[in-house]
Structure 1
Amino acid sequence: MEFKGALTALVTPFKNEGIDEDAYRAFIEWQIESGIDGVVPCGTTGESATLSHDEHKEVIRICIDQVKKRVPVLAGSGSNNTREAIELTRFAKSAGADGALMITPYYNKPTQNGMIAHFKAIASEVSLPMVVYNVPGRTGTNLLPSTLGRMAREIPTVIGVKEATGDMKQAARIVEECGEDFTLLSGDDFTILPFLALGGKGVISVISNIEPAKTHAMCAACQANDWKTARALFYELAPLNRAMFLESNPIPVKTSVALMGKMEPTLRLPMTPLSVEHLATLKTVLKEHQLI
């Protein structure tokens, strides 16, 4: 399966200290019915950092079972611990994931060569398409386009990148280094339109948790060279995009999904509930877009 168009970085519903499986299955079903192009369980938006290993695997398993191959599942299975990443990726493959979203190692800040070695080690143990996730704001290290180009040439299973620097020069350089067949995905909803104009294939999206149909439609319009429609949707969604980052992701988006009645607003520490001031702003924006 190809990873293109709008892929939702799924929020993970919690209930009674555990995973709310019923809410999660219903949420995934709504996403598919709304026309989403793919789903990503256990990313940053899914609060993967606060999931136990058993919970992480359970969230991936539930997602794959609910999707039943109707859209691609790109399972978050990365870690700053190479052995842990291998374990989680091996599970994702055994569970039936179509690919793995692999964050660059965080906190330990490897060199560019260290990142190449990390992904080579994973690929040597598990043969599964990998989309590398570059988000320096969270990891402290930027995966350079030249390094990504080496990885694309030397590691056949590295087929794409979720690029979350917001740097259009870096995005363009990735296309230069890796070629137009390489899967460049925006990692920020603010950059969907320029990324696709540069040759990107789509987005791993936060906003599509609450607006899956319009996010899909925007990506589809870009792919059809209907830039007028794409621009209109991009600017229509802009206020919602800003609202999703009133506080650290996924606090606003999970609050939004809860206000829409799709799950409980439960977050795990160190994520805390949206402030009263920001909650009022969020509700205003959601009402203006007729989501609540």
Structure 2
Amino acid sequence: MSRRGTDFAGLSVAIVTPFKDGGKVDVDTLKQQIEFQIAAGTNCLVPCGTTGESPTLTHPEHERVISETIQAVAGRCKVMAGTGSNSTNEAISLSEWAAKEGADATLQVAPYYNKPSQEGFYQHFKAISESVDVPHCIYNIPGRTGKNIEPETIARIAECKNMVMVKEATGSLDQASQVLSLTDLTLLSGDDSLTLPLLSVGGEGVVSVVGNLVPQDMIALVNAFRDGNVAEAQRLHMQLFPLCRDLLGINSNPIPVKAAMRELGRDSGELRLPMVQLTAAELDFLRKTLGTYGLLKEGVAV
């Protein structure tokens, strides 16, 4: 089956939003992180997702981070702007801004908290697709939104124009397989540790958190599998697995990844409430994980 959205295959990185001076958006550090990703060969950057602390960004900040990212990238990789909302009108408004600024696509999280019916999901995504003429990625993460977009609903949404991808973060290979069998959407893993399993059933890549730290390793994993070198892909999966598990397991995203970036000298590590810093025990555990991976040696970034 020929799939839509394959231009976004490979590694997309859900980049953090750096803050400094008590919570101001740190554009200079954002630009440094963008250059780091482009140098690594990352295919697509995803600003203002969960990892970018979008729930705590004001609307002007949200728009600014998207605009600054697009301008800094300057066409050297793709930009998939996080513009989803539990308000359809708000999602359309943010998506219109991203499209106007030159985003290559938008990431549309399932409406959260208000828990719409399956028909409500369909109408939400349909309205976005008809209002904003850029490619869109459906983001299904029931662990955060409170409700699953069922495969049959995703199949209906896939019939809407401009809906070309799905970021699959249900943790279910059965769901992913159903979506792939029912649609021609490009499926991207929304869980770093499940990237290889999802590639094995037909996924095309990952929207990654751990890619903030080691994008080259995630690119190598995807490329190895794509090239038919399954043994190498499995080796990289096992190498990456503890880092993926701990970044997303010891506390809520993006608390651990921002702490890791601070340890590596690449971010202030500032968070916005209600996110708070790791406990001393959690930070010690994270440092051990970074050390085992080879990113830290005696507390110093390698």
Instruction: Give the TM-score normalised by the residue count of structure 2.
Output: 0.94
Q: CA deviation at 1:290?
A: 2.1
Q: Which residue of 1 aligns with 2:93?
A: 87
Asked whether the 8 Å contact 2:130–2:161 carries over to 1, the reply is: no
Matched, 1:285 2:283: no
State the match for 1:263 in structure 2.
267
Identity of paired residues, percent? Answer: 45
Q: Is the 8 A contact 2:45 2:79 kept in 1?
A: yes
Please state how far the C-alpha of 1:122 moved relative to its aligned partner: 1.3
How much has 1:273 moved relative to structure 2?
0.2
Q: Which residue of 2 aligns with 1:111?
A: 117
1:254-287 Cα distance to aligned partner (Å, 9 max, x none): 1001111111010000000011101001001111
Whole-angstrom distance in 1 between the partners of 2:41 and 2:80 = 17
Match of 1:135 in 2: 141
Partner SS for 2:111: coil
Residue equivalent to 1:28: 34
Aligned to 1:174: 179
What secondary structure sits across from 1:244 in the alignment?
Answer: helix
Equivalent position amino acid for 1:189 in 2: D
Asked if 1 retains the 8 angstrom alpha-carbon contact of 2:85 and 2:109, the reply is: yes
Which residue of structure 1 lines up, in the alignment, with residue 298 of structure 2?
none
One-letter amino acid of the counterpart of residue 73, structure 1: V
Q: Does the 8 Å CA contact 2:63/2:94 hold for their aligned counterparts?
A: yes
| Aligned 8 A contact 1:218 1:230 in 2 | yes
2:33 is the counterpart of 1:12: no
Give the letter for the 2:272 counterpart: R
TM superposition shift of 1:44 = 0.3
Counterpart CA distance in 2 for 1:225 and 1:49 is: 39
Of 200, 204, 226, which residue of structure 1 is paired with 2:203?
200
- Return the match for 1:187 from 163, 172, 190: 190
Quick check: 1:37–1:216 contact (8 Å CA) kept in 2?
no
What is the rounded CA distance, in whole Å, between the counterparts of 2:58 and 2:276 in structure 1?
Answer: 19
1:142 counterpart SS class? coil
Note if contact 1:12-1:46 (Cα within 8 Å) is conserved in structure 2. Answer: yes
- Which structure 2 segments of 5+ residues have no match? 296-300
Amino acid at match of 2:247: M
Q: Is the 8 A contact 2:92 2:131 kept in 1?
A: yes
Q: Which residue, out of 46, 52, 58, partners 1:40?
A: 46
Shift of 1:157: 0.6
- Selected match of 1:49 from 50, 55, 70: 55
Q: In the TM superposition, what is the alpha-carbon distance from 1:6 to its structure 2 partner?
A: 1.1
CA distance in 2, matches of 1:151, 1:72: 23
Give runs of aligned pairs for residues 112-261 of structure 1, distance below 5 A.
112-153=118-159, 155-179=160-184, 182-245=185-248, 246-261=250-265
Considering only aligned residues, what root-mean-square deviation do their CA atoms show, in Å? 0.9
Q: SS state of the match for residue 130, structure 2?
A: helix
